[in-house]
Structure 1
Amino acid sequence: MSKRKPYIRKLETNWWLKTGFYTRYMLREGSCIFITLYSLILTWGIFNLSQGESSFNMWLDTLQNPFFIILHLIVLIFALYHSITWFALAPKAIALWVKGTRIEDSVIIATHYAAFAIVTVLCLLIITL
């Protein structure tokens, strides 16, 4: 074992606020807390649905509390931010070549948004039928 003292770099707790890239990254990764909370709320709703109509209606009444409405808005913002950043990463993960020419990043991103819109509309149609 060495008798030398190891170098320990001091890192401030707000290091991620000093650079825009790291701030956006930490917001994206921190959004998982709200997304997880939303998943638990939906799981709670499924459980209440299995308990009967009155239990499910009480759950729906609980969701009309201003706290839950604000929470849903926060989760929506984080989910949209997460989706936007995810689609922006797609060209870095997928290098598509057609006849020796690389497809532009904007085309890949636009295709992802179009697929997202189509799937969303299909889900809404299934739900309303």
Structure 2
Amino acid sequence: MSASDPRPAAPRAAPALPGVAGNPRRPYVRPMAGWWLRNPYFVRYMAREGTAVFVAAYALILLVGLVRLAQGEAAWNGWLEALRSPLSTILHLVFLAVFVFHTVTWFEVLPKTMPPLLVGGKRVAQSAITAGAIAVAAAASLALFGIVWGLTR
């Protein structure tokens, strides 16, 4: 072929890719199973994310209560009686522990996701933001508990 030949040059053969037929080399495949178990940070992260399953389960319990309320007094009283069982009490204690973990870890992430908080020209420490948020959440929970307790007595 010369420079004046109008035909395009033949394409060069592409190098053989790993894992493709005819190539003896195999590609590196990073193991993905259990990736989060190799680092304590990711174990805690996955535990925090796993608490969402418990939140959804408790939402279903409350939804069943709402349906029972719509079905009448007998159905509502049956649902309340089911909540008084020892198994339900244990389940609610597990939910409480999981929700406390969920709340604390949620507020630990809070200072990392918000813009810097300045008081008196100085940046507020992340631990102070987390502690303040947990204190406000605890106070609000206790106030709500007190209101509900007072209304039911």
TM-score (norm 1): 0.83
Structure 2 CA distance for partners of 1:55 and 1:107, relative to 1, 3 Å: same
C-alpha separation between the residues in 1 aligned to 2:123 and 2:40? 30
RMSD between aligned residues: 2.3
1:78 aligns with 2:98: yes
- Match in the other structure for 1:125: 146
1:91 aligns with 2:104: no
- Match in the other structure for 1:4: 17
Deviation at 1:97, TM superposition (A): 0.8
1:108 aligns with 2:121: no
Give the counterpart letter for 1:98 in structure 2: V
1:60 aligns with 2:80: yes
Residues 87 and 112, structure 1, Cα contact 8 Å, conserved in 2: yes
- Which has the larger share of helix? 1
Give the counterpart letter for 2:30 in structure 1: K
Residues 28 and 78, structure 1, Cα contact 8 Å, conserved in 2: no
Name the stretch that deviates more: 75-84 or 112-121. Answer: 112-121
C-alpha separation between the residues in 2 aligned to 1:8 and 1:38? 43
- Match in the other structure for 2:8: none
Deviation at 1:108, TM superposition (A): 1.3
- Residue 11 of structure 1: SS of its match in structure 2? coil
**CA offsets 1:39-95 (integer angstroms, 9 cap, x no match):** 101110111112222111111222234443333222222111111111112221232
Name the stretch that deviates more: 74-83 or 118-127. Answer: 118-127
C-alpha separation between the residues in 2 aligned to 1:52 and 1:101? 58
Unaligned runs of 5+ in 1: none
- Residue 70 of structure 1: SS of its match in structure 2? helix
C-alpha separation between the residues in 2 aligned to 1:75 and 1:120? 15
Deviation at 1:122, TM superposition (A): 2.6
Unaligned runs of 5+ in 2: 1-14, 20-26
Give the length in aligned residue pairs: 129
Residues 48 and 56, structure 1, Cα contact 8 Å, conserved in 2: yes
TM-score (norm 2): 0.71
Structure 2 CA distance for partners of 1:46 and 1:78, relative to 1, 3 Å: same
C-alpha separation between the residues in 2 aligned to 1:69 and 1:118? 24
1:16 aligns with 2:29: no
- Match in the other structure for 1:46: 66
